[in-house]
Amino acid sequence: MSANPNTLIVPINEYVALQTELSILKAQYEELKAQVNQKHLGTPATLFVKDQGITKIISLSDVIMMEADSNYTTIHLVDGQRILTSKTIKYWLEKIGNNDDFIRPHRSFVVNKKYLVSYQSNPRSIIISGNKSIPMARNFDIGIL
């Protein structure tokens, strides 16, 4: 049996090294692909909210805060409008994504930092536009304001 001169014979240790390098490159490719997809998706600029059977498109910059009430959430808007939704605050946080404008000072509230007026250390609360006081949880870090 004669060897084909066009066949490249690779030692087994070199083959294993190449396979390892290939799997590392594939993992790096998948990670970069996920990062690019996330950059393209970014954080949403709007929310789709059902209000009395009508789906409204609300700009995140118009949202002052979200207030949880059990399995419902009230969305407070700049124009004074309040929309009661049958979704939890956790659901809305997932829709907002990694938006640096929103903080969660208390388990029942999500606040848009653009509308912060001041905060008090005793009692721990945040004052937002409209002179509304939002309580702060004991473990909420004021440094992120």
Note down pLDDT in tens along the chain; length 145 residues: 455 667 777 788 888 888 889 999 898 888 877 766 655 555 568 888 988 888 899 999 999 999 999 999 999 999 999 999 999 999 999 888 888 889 999 999 999 999 999 988 888 899 898 888 899 988 887 776 6
Q: What pLDDT score does 2 carry?
A: 53
Full set of structural domains in the chain with CATH: 60-144 (2.40.50.1020)
The answer to whether the beta carbons of residues 127 and 133 sit under 8 Å apart is yes
Q: What pLDDT score does 112 carry?
A: 93
| CA 21 to centroid of chain Cα atoms | 34
Residue 18 to residue 112: CA distance in whole angstroms: 51
